[in-house]
Every structure is written in C-alpha cells, then in structure tokens.
C-alpha cells in the first residue's frame, strides 16, 4: 500500500491544502493552526451532534443543484450584486464593485498591501479560543475567493453576495472580510447554496458606533452541505445584527463567534430553520459563542427550528461574560417545533459568567403544535393544514422580529409561506 492509501480522510484533506497567493503570512499561520488542531471528530465536544465526516472528506459528496422558479431573492431591492458561481467570482453576473462609502475588492486580487491584510484571519484566530474551529482555519488558509469590504460611511444600498450552485461536485471556499469604520453602516445580504459543499467564512470588524446588518438565506437546495463561520469584533456603541433563514439542505452548520470588546455594544444573532426530511436528509446546526468583554453589552440569540419527517436540529449556544463586563444583558432562546415524532432537536445552552452585576437568561424548548390553538383556528373554518402553517409562522415570529428592516422581514415571511405551502403534511 502506498502512503496515500493509508491516510485517513482528514489527513488526505490536510495534505491537499494549497495556499493561494496574497495574505501569505495569515494563510501560513492558519495552516499551522489547522495542522496543530487537526480536523474534528465525533468525540470533539462541539461535534457530538453533527457528524463532520462529509465536511472532512477530501471530495464533496455530489449534490444536484436545485432549480427553483421563484423570483430572485431581494430582487426588488436596489442592491450591489456580487455573484459567486460554485465558489468562483462571476464578473459578468456581478455589478461594478463601486459603491459610494464603500471600498470593495476581491480577495483573489488583493495583495499584501491591502487594508485587509492586517485583518484577514485575525478575527478567525481570536475565535479559536476557547473552542477550536478547524474548518475556519482551513478556510483562511485555502480560500481562493471572497470579497474585502471597507465601509467608511452610512451606506443605503445593501451589498448582496449571491452564491450560485451549478456543479454537482463543487467545493466552494469563500472568505470575506468586512470592516466598518467608526460610525459606518451597511447591510450585507447573502443568499444561495454556494456549491455542492461550501465553507464560508466572514470576518466582520465593527468599529465604534458602527452598525452592521446581515440577512442570509441559504438557498433551497436539498443536497448541499454547508458550513459557515461568522467572526465579529464589536466595538464601543456598535451594533451587530445577523439573521439567517435556512430551509432544506442535507447539512448546515452555522457558527457565529461574536466578541463584544467595547462598552455599550449590541450583538444580535437569530435564525429560522425549516427542514423536511421526507425525501432527503435535513440536519441543521447553529453553534454560537458570544463573549462579553466590556460593560453594558447587550446580546441576543433567538433561534427557531421547524422540523418534520425525521429532520434534525442542533443548537449549541454560549454566553461568556468576562470579569469586569458589568451590566451585561445576555439573552438566549432556542426552540424547536417538531411536526412529528421522528424529528429531533438537541440543544446545549451554556452560560459562563465571571462578573457579578449581570443579567443573563437562556431557555430552550421542544414542542409540538399547540392543539388548543389549532382547534381555535379550525373552529373558525381554517383547514388543518392552513391552520398549521399559521401556527408555524406564529412560532417563528420572534426570530423574524429580529430583522430590523421591514422590507426584508416581509420578504423572509413570503419565503417562509412558500416553503410551508410546499411542505404541507
């Protein structure tokens, strides 16, 4: 047997990592980190409930692209489109990367002089402690494309990252760096499945008094496997707000590591996931880590999952309040609505508090449709399936409420209604 044949899948994956040009030191450091920690196994504390095998495998599991007939997401919104096709920037389909108040460049064209070179991989590195996130290090080391966005003013027009999946075997690795200067504001929209397998990392540096809004819709593909990592640093008086809608997908793991480093900052992260494993598997995992390292910080985690026909949901959410982070207000809720007895939700809420004057709460519930409410609706003439759909929307409402801008909220609700209409009984 040759040496190659004896390698484990993880070793084979690591052996294949190549470092693209640009961001050289950061990439080499990331590779060192990656080799030191290795890829995760089922015995790793935060991988017990989500099987990393398909994310580790040297080649992605083939995944058929899904073609939907819905109007383009955010299509009515004036936005700057940046399109990636199977993980590769598509200049043709993208708009000019020019927007007032913003500098946008491609990672693949950035050389080490770029403003981003001091930031690339930095927040990801910080996010490796105390919990290792090897796939994010893999991403930093090997991402060939992505965007570097520097926001200097209040930007009205959202930047829309659109991820198209066309090839059955694409392995998309994208790394974005977003830096909001003091007082800046931007909305970043992300949508699409990205590839047969995708590893997407976004580092976001939110400077003093800046405001970052993020709304993400992970496409309707059933077979794609996706791992995402958001690493954000939130400074004094700044706001970070992220919402994700996931419907379908064989495997999704959304990690979000938020670091509140300045006083009076806000960090809100929310998600709504809908899975129906009737014809294809659905496994969805939200793994969140919020660190309060400054005073009077407010954080919210609001996660809701609707699971049917054996779909699986995981939530691992932690609030860490460091010594001195007084008057912290941390809130966390994770809830699953199981539409049958085959579906499953596993939740691990964690609080670790080293300051005495803080207010933190967390809750997790798993439940079925409320029979009393269902009867109330039916007694008014609403048929069971439609009544159930209304109650699902009712269940998801708190998560949707986390979206600040009404136009996006409405669009998300429309997509939810579409999914519910397609997945009746």
Partner 1 sequence: MLEIKNLHVKLEEEDKQILKGVNLTLEDGKVHAIMGPNGSGKSTLSYVLSGRDGYEVTQGEAHLNGLNLLEAEPEERAAAGLFLAFQYPVEIPGVGNMTFLRTALNSQRKARGEPEISAGDFLKLVREKAKSLKIDAEMLKRPVNVGFSGGEKKRNEILQMAILEPKMCILDETDSGLDVDAMRLVSDGVNALRDGTRSFLVITHYQRLLDHIKPDVVHIMADGRIIETGGPELALEVEKNGYAALLDKHGIAQEMA
Q: Does 382 bind partner 1 (CB under 8 A)?
A: yes
Contact between 409 and partner 1 per CB under 8 A: no
Please give the helix or strand (H or E) that residue 383 lies within, else none: none
Which of 398, 405, 409, 418 is close enough to bind partner 1 by CB under 8 A? 398
Sign of the CA dihedral running 53, 7, 200, 203: positive
For residue 158, the 8-state DSSP code is P
Which residues, 45 to 64, sit near partner 1 by CB under 8 A?
none
Residue 386 in the binding site for partner 1 (CB under 8 A): yes
Helix (H) or strand (E) holding 2: none
The 10 Å Cβ neighbour count of residue 353 is 16
Cβ partners under 8 Å of residue 380, min gap 6: none
By C-beta, is 273 or 396 nearer to partner 1? 396
Note whether 75 binds partner 1 by CB under 8 A. Answer: no
- Contact call for residue 264 and partner 1 (CB under 8 A): no
The first and second tokens of residue 237, run together, are: 């008086």
Distance from C-alpha of 105 to C-alpha of 423, rounded to nearest angstrom: 40
Q: Which is nearer to partner 1, 161 or 403 (CB)?
A: 403
Binding mask 344-373 for partner 1 (x = CB under 8 A): ---------------------------xxx
CA 9 to chain centre: 25
* Residue 396 makes contact with partner 1 by CB under 8 A: yes
- Count of residues engaged in binding partner 1, rule: CB under 8 A: 24
CB of 346 to partner 1, least distance (A): 25
- Interacting residue with partner 1 among 3, 98, 130, 380 (CB under 8 A): 380
d(CA 169, CA 166): 9
* Nearer Cβ to partner 1 (351/369): 369
| Shortest distance in whole angstroms from residue 247 CB to partner 1 | 18
Q: Are strands 266-276 and 239-247 parallel, antiparallel or unpaired?
A: parallel
Spatial distance between the Cα atoms of 191 and 72, rounded to a whole number of angstroms? 10
Nearer to partner 1, 126 or 390 (CB): 390
Q: How far is the CB of 191 from partner 1 (least distance, A)?
A: 23
Interface with partner 1 (CB under 8 A), residue from 157, 391, 404, 409: 391
Which residue number, 157 or 394, has a Cβ lying nearer to partner 1? 394
Q: In angstroms, what is the minimal distance from the CB of 282 to partner 1?
A: 23
Q: Give the integer Cα–Cα distance in Å for 369 and 337.
A: 7
Nearer to partner 1, 17 or 391 (CB): 391
d(CA 199, CA 30): 15
> Minimal distance in Å, beta carbon 383 to partner 1?
5
Closest approach, Cβ 393 to partner 1, in A, equals: 6
Identify whether the C-beta of residue 412 lies closer than 8 Å to the C-beta of residue 217.
yes
Residue in the block written with tokens 């004094």: 236
Residue 341 Cβ vs partner 1, minimum distance, rounded to whole Å: 17
What backbone torsions phi and psi does residue 121 show, to the nearest 5 degrees?
85, -10
Between the alpha carbon of residue 134 and those of residues 52, 66, 392, the distances in Å are 11, 29, 35
Cα Rg of the chain, angstroms:
21
Q: 48 or 378, CB closer to partner 1? A: 378
Contact status: 381 vs partner 1 (CB under 8 A): yes
| Least distance between partner 1 and beta carbon 381 (Å) | 4
DSSP string, 68-110: --SPPTTTTS--EEEEEETTEE-TTTSPPSEETTEEEEEGGG-
* Length of the chain in terms of residues written: 425
The least distance separating partner 1 from the CB of residue 22, rounded to whole angstroms, comes to: 46
Burial class (CB in 10 A: 0-12, 13-18, 19+), 179: buried
Binder among 38, 393, 404, 409 for partner 1 (CB under 8 A): 393
- The yes or no reply on residue 394 touching partner 1 (CB under 8 A) is yes
Instruction: Rule CB under 8 A: choose which of 395, 408, 416, 420 binds partner 1.
Output: 395
**Binding positions for partner 1, rule: CB under 8 A:** 371-373, 375-384, 386-387, 390-391, 393-398, 400
């Amino acid at each position: 047997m040759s040496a190659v044949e004896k390698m484990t899948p993880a070793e084979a994956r690591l052996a294949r990592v190549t470092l693209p040009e640009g961001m050289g030191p950061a990439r080499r450091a990331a590779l060192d980190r990656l080799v030191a920690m290795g890829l995760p196994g089922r015995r790793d504390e935060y991988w017990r409930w989500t099987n990393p095998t398909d994310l580790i495998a040297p080649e992605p599991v083939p995944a058929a692209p899904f073609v939907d007939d819905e109007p383009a997401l955010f299509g009515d919104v004036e936005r700057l489109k940046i399109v990636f096709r199977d993980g590769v920037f598509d200049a043709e389909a993208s708009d000019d990367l020019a927007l007032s108040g913003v500098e946008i460049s491609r990672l693949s064209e950035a050389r080490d002089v770029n403003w981003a070179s001091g930031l690339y991989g930095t927040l990801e590195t910080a996010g490796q402690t105390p919990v290792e996130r090897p796939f994010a290090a893999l991403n930093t080391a090997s991402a060939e494309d992505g965007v570097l966005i520097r926001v200097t003013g209040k930007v009205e027009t959202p930047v829309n990252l659109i991820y198209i999946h066309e090839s059955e075997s694409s392995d998309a690795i994208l790394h974005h760096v977003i830096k909001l200067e003091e007082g800046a504001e931007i909305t970043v929209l992300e949508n699409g499945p990205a590839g047969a397998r995708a590893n997407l990392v976004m580092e976001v540096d939110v400077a003093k008094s800046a405001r970052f809004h993020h709304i993400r819709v992970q496409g309707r593909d059933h077979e794609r496997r996706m791992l995402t990592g958001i690493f954000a640093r939130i400074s004094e008086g700044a706001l970070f707000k992220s919402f994700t809608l996931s419907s379908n997908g064989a495997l999704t793991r959304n990690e979000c590591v938020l670091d509140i480093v300045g006083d009076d900052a806000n960090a809100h992260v929310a998600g709504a996931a809908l899975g129906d494993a009737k014809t294809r598997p659905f496994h969805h995992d939200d793994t969140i880590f919020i660190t309060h390292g400054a005073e009077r910080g407010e954080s919210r985690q609001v996660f809701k999952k609707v699971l049917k026909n054996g779909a699986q949901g995981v939530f691992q959410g932690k609030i860490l309040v460091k010594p001195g982070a007084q008057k912290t207000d941390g809130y966390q809720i994770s809830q699953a609505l199981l539409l049958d007895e085959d579906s499953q939700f596993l939740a691990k809420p964690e609080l670790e508090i080293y300051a005495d004057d803080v207010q933190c709460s967390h809750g997790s519930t798993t439940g079925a449709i409320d029979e009393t409410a269902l009867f109330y609706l039916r007694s008014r003439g609403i048929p069971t399936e439609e009544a159930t759909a209304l109650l699902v929307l009712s269940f998801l409402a708190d998560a949707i409420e986390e979206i600040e801008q009404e136009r996006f909220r409405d669009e998300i609700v429309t997509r939810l209604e579409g999914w519910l209409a397609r997945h009746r009984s």
